[in-house]
Amino acid sequence: MSGPPLTAGAAVRLPPEPAPPGAPSASGTDVSGVTGAAGAAGVRGAGAPWALWRRQLAAVVRLELRKSFAGRRAFGLYLLALAPIVVLALRALVPRAISDPGNLGDATRLLADVYQAFILRVVIFLGSVAIFGSLIRREILDRSLHFYFLTPMRRELLVLAKYLTGLLVALTLFGVSTLGSFLLAYLPYDGRLRNAFLLHGPGLAHLGAYLLVTALACAGYGAAFLALGFFFRSPAIPALALFGWEAIHFLLPPLLKQLSVIHWLQALCPVPIAEGPFALLSDAPSRWVSICGLLALTAALVAVSAWRIRRLEVVYLDD
């Protein structure tokens, strides 16, 4: 352990604290010419250090992506996201699996079933549990949450950064999963009809709708499981309860259906699916009500997480 003194005469200095509103401009440039990020942000932002927050946000996202989603832990997630693609790829590759290559309606109905029954309810749901439920809880189990808490970063910003990381990963994985499933569902059919459907028919609109639902599902379920991570030691139990609730939503009366996320998501899907003889029918909510409602729910749940983390103490298990 040797080297130059840490404080006096150090070659590099940290940026100063963000300047308060109305404070005189201060240079954040040190002897080596490195411009202080926080100082500059504080001056430009007149008390709201947006540049510093953006930098901190990016740093957490970068770190989270590196440590959580590039390792072995993410392997299960990749398998989950690949599952519908594998199923539809096998169907496309197996000879005579398609009875009528000229009937694109079969592909549309099949995709609707696979998407709503499997991708939406199982793949995205479980994937969101794994991704968002572990954003905070996993750090507590790993006894490493304090590393973030010991930095000059607002805890609310930390929650936002973690949520955005999870969202980025979920959107990438399940967006690819949705896109791949869409393409593979139509792959075995007649090329001329397929191109007409995709380029001149409703194909792209369907794809856009599915991707939108995937994005909203990741955002909504993600916010829910992030928040649950603050209230339950294991998010698996509330996740299981929510899974059951979502699974039986077609049996619920119209009023209770509105308490189900899947009800709002299904309203955005381009092709409805049959829910069986026991389903209780209700009016589907309008597209904009669904989108705005889900976004509002997401914002509210992230706000709950931000509120919880502000009061969170670091007391690891078996301390």
Partner 1 sequence: MPETGAAAAASGMAARKSSSGTAAGGAGDRIVFDDVSKFYGEVLGVNRVQLSIPPGITGLVGPNGSGKTTLMNLMVGLLRPSGGTVRVLGMSADQPEQLFRRVGYATQYDAFPPGLTGYQLIESLLRVHGCDPRQAAALAWQALERVGMVEAAGRKVAAYSKGMRQRVKLAQAIAHQPTVLVLDEPLNGLDPMARAELIALLRELAAAGLFVVVSSHILHEVDLISDQVVMLNGGYVVAEGDIVGVRDEMEEQHPAQVLIRCDRPELLAAKAFEQDHVVEARMLADRSGVLLRTRDAGRFYPMLNRVVVEQGLRVESVAPADADVEAVYQYLIDGPPGNGGRP
- Smallest gap from residue 31 Cβ to partner 1 (A): 11
Q: Indicate the residue among 17 and 190 with the shorter CB distance to partner 1.
A: 17
Q: How far is the CB of 318 from partner 1 (least distance, A)?
A: 11
Helix 75-93 to helix 125-132 angle (10° resolution) is 160
CB of 12 to partner 1, least distance (A): 4
CB of 193 to partner 1, least distance (A): 47
- Kindly tell me which of 45 and 201 has the beta carbon lying closer to partner 1: 45
**CB-nearer residue toward partner 1: 22 or 71:** 71
- Among 38, 45, 47, smallest CA distance to 13 is for 38
Structure tokens at 20: 């308060």
Cβ of residue 121: shortest distance to partner 1, in angstroms?
31
Residues contacting 234, CB < 8 A, separation 6+: 137
Judged by CB, which is closer to partner 1: 62, or 233?
A: 62
Axis-axis angle for helices 125-132, 203-231 (nearest 10): 40
- Complex with partner 1: residue 28 or 293, whichever CB lies closer: 28
What string of DSSP letters covers 36-88?
Answer: PHHHHHHHHTTT--HHHHHHHHHHHHHHHHHHHSSSGGGHHHHHHHHHHHHHH
Q: Residue 57 — φ and ψ, nearest 5°?
A: -60, -45
Name the minimum Å distance from CB 13 to partner 1: 7
Please give the residue ranges that form the binding site for partner 1 (CB under 8 A): 1-8, 10-15, 17-18, 32, 34-38, 41, 52, 55-56, 58-60, 62-63, 66-68, 70-71, 73, 139, 142-144, 146-155, 311, 313-316
* Residue 80 CB partners (closer than 8 Å, separation 6+): 123, 126, 127, 130, 173
Q: What angle do CA 54, 60, 64 make, to 5 degrees?
A: 145
Task: Evaluate whether 280 touches 127 at the Cβ level (below 8 Å).
Answer: no
Tokens for 86? 């594998």
Cβ proximity to partner 1: between 61 and 304 the closer is: 61
d(CA 150, CA 78): 32
Q: Which of 282, 132, 156, 284 is nearest to 217 (CA)?
A: 132
> Quick one: 96 or 311, whose CB is closer to partner 1?
311
Give me the least distance between CB of 10 and partner 1, in Å please: 6
Q: Decide whether 144 or 286 has the Cβ nearer to partner 1.
A: 144
Q: What are phi and psi of 315, to 5 degrees?
A: -125, 100
Compute the least distance from the CB of residue 115 to partner 1, in Å: 33
